[in-house]
Structure 1
Amino acid sequence: MENLKQSIKDLADRYSVNLKDKIEARTEEMKADDNSHYLIYRVLGITTEQGKLIDEYQNTGRFLYKYAGSFLEEAATLCLNFKYPEGIKTRIENTLGQRPKTFEIDFLNENDAIEVKWRDATTDGDHITKEHIRVQVIKAHNYKPIRIMFYYPQREQAIKIQQTLKTLYVGVQGEYYGGEEAWEYLKNYTGIDLKNILLEIANRRTPEDGSK
């Protein structure tokens, strides 16, 4: 278990350094950006300084969201592999259509086809169609589709999409876990309390932050 905790800490260190480097590089690049669009910001009542800060935070946010998602999904997969070393990431043929040709399974353990998501904020209706085909294909391959998503989106339309996806999973005798249920599922499935491990790391790095 200590080896796993160290692996997750090392993973966090690596992502943290890479994120910092990306943000610093982009911030430096932005110094040479054409800021003539600030005129429109000003027309809308946003000062040049406010516009600059907004652009900087927008760029930082894109990197942060991407790295946060990739880190959590990789950390969860480390837990799955620790408990089930024979589990693999794999692709299966789309037997119900031509596009896409294959679907990816994040972690296949015997009949359990687990999809790991940190958050899915899509509001695209086509996403439901694609996911419906995906779970049907997984079922046709005699696997059980299981989705774990650690954080629900914030917007109403995106939440409705997730509610529909949950219905799809249940409809094919699959399983869907979102929010706190996802953390509990991973803990029960692997015996590893990933959330607690991440809290320990977070509290060492930002002890003044009281978030849970």
Structure 2
Amino acid sequence: MDSRDERLVEIILKYREELQRKIRERKVEMESDNNEHYMLYNALGFTSAEGYQIDFQQNVGRFLYKYAGSLIEELAIKCFKLAYPEAREKVKLPNTIDQSPKTVEIDCLIGNRAIELKWKDATTDGDHIKKEHKRVRIIREAGYVPIRIMFFEPNREQAIRIQARLKDLYNDLGGEYYSGEEAWEYLKNDTGIDLKSILERNGK
């Protein structure tokens, strides 16, 4: 394992440890929870023991989604910074179109490439298109090329349609959009780091 891979694995292990600690803490907290709502679970055919497991796993799921998104974002930014030491992260640009929001954020800025990183985006909200349209315009008008990298594609039909519209939006405004396998390949070809393989090798 080369030094670059080692640094990425360190990040993976850090997130894994933090997530497990968070889950352990929540499990302890839940021991003193008021569980009167279990009567509704019981009425719907679930035992109290099943209700506890559902509540616990719901908490685990929320933590897992949050940590999964943060992990892939930090790993991808690290890949870019290893390949491009001058890369900057979390760069804010002023909103030059209207007053809300006051700024838009670029996850990783490399030269004129303004990269947005997503682990996945399952939104079905039509307003998402409007917000992203404004965001991409602001970035484009600031002289940057907006690039969206989303590592996992949604499964639901409406979310898939939203992503197709976002891809058209990026292309229409002179940007680039990569999702699924194309996203992994973009990162690998651009940085020389096969992050997908590193994650697969370091899974449980």
Q: What range describes the TM-score normalised by the shorter chain of this pair?
A: over 0.9
State the Cα RMSD in Å.
1.1
Unaligned runs of 5+ in 1: 207-212
1:129: which partner in 2? 130
Q: Which string of whole-angstrom CA distances, capped at 9 and with x for unpartnered residues, describes residues 158-209 of structure 1?
A: 222211111110111110011111001111111111111111212xxx2xxx
Return the TM-score normalized by structure 2: 0.96
Structure 1 residue 124 displacement after superposition? 2.0
2:3: which partner in 1? 3
2:99: which partner in 1? 98
1:159 pairs with 2:164:
no
CA distance, structure 1, for counterparts of residue 111 and residue 65 of structure 2: 32
Q: Which string of whole-angstrom CA distances, capped at 9 and with x for unpartnered residues, describes residues 51-91 of structure 1?
A: 11111110001111111110111001111011111110211
2:194: which partner in 1? 193
1:174: which partner in 2? 175
**Aligned residue-pair number:** 203
CA distance, structure 2, for counterparts of residue 34 and residue 161 of structure 1: 40
Q: Which string of whole-angstrom CA distances, capped at 9 and with x for unpartnered residues, describes residues 138-175 of structure 1?
A: 11011110000001122222222211111110111110
Q: What is the SS of the residue equivalent to 2:46?
A: coil
Give the counterpart letter for 1:135 in structure 2.
V
Q: Which aligned segments of 4 or more residues in structure 1 are displaced greater than 6 angstroms?
A: none
1:52: which partner in 2? 52
Does 181-190 or 153-162 show the bigger shift?
153-162
1:87: which partner in 2? 87
Q: What is the SS of the residue equivalent to 1:45?
A: coil
CA distance, structure 1, for counterparts of residue 72 and residue 202 of structure 2: 13
Q: Which string of whole-angstrom CA distances, capped at 9 and with x for unpartnered residues, describes residues 92-135 of structure 1?
A: 11111111111100111111111011111222222211100000
Give the counterpart letter for 1:131 in structure 2.
E
Mapped contact 1:123–1:158 kept (Cα < 8 A):
yes
Q: Which string of whole-angstrom CA distances, capped at 9 and with x for unpartnered residues, describes residues 36-60 of structure 1?
A: 1111111111221211111111000
1:23 pairs with 2:23:
yes
Mapped contact 1:91–1:104 kept (Cα < 8 A):
yes
Unaligned runs of 5+ in 2: none
Mapped contact 1:42–1:48 kept (Cα < 8 A):
yes
2:72: which partner in 1? 72
Note the 1:29-40 alignment, pairs <5 A. 29-40=29-40
Return the TM-score normalized by structure 1: 0.92
CA distance, structure 2, for counterparts of residue 46 and residue 35 of structure 1: 13
CA distance, structure 2, for counterparts of residue 122 and residue 33 of structure 1: 31
